[in-house]
């Protein structure tokens, strides 16, 4: 038997892009989406945004893109 990848999951990178999403959000799965690009396109239909970071993309759910980053606690 050969294992085949069935797709990817794109999850929210949190309000500041370096912390966890408080809602543990992920793009809703679509049956036809198999690649990260396709999943991100699905997310944009649901209000997700993407922004570039050094060497990667940051994905923000609708809640985190409007939430101000919290100040780090010491």
18: Cβ–Cβ under 8 A, 6 or more apart, which residues?
none
What residue spans define the domains of the chain? 1-66
pLDDT score at 73:
47
pTM of this structure: 0.72
Q: Could you report the average pLDDT of every consecutive run of 10 residues in the chain (74 residues)?
A: 80 84 87 88 91 88 77 49
- C-alpha dihedral, 63 to 65 to 53 to 21, nearest 10°: -20
Say if residues 64 and 21 touch (Cβ distance below 8 Å): yes
Measured distance CA(4)–CA(48) in Å, rounded: 28
């Amino acid at each position: 038997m050969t294992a085949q990848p069935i797709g990817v999951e794109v999850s929210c990178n949190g309000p500041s892009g370096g912390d966890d999403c408080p809602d543990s959000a992920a793009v809703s799965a679509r049956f036809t989406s198999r690649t990260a690009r396709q999943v991100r396109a699905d997310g944009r239909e649901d209000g997700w945004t993407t922004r570039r970071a050094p060497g990667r993309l940051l994905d923000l759910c609708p809640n985190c893109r409007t939430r101000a980053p919290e100040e780090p606690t010491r």
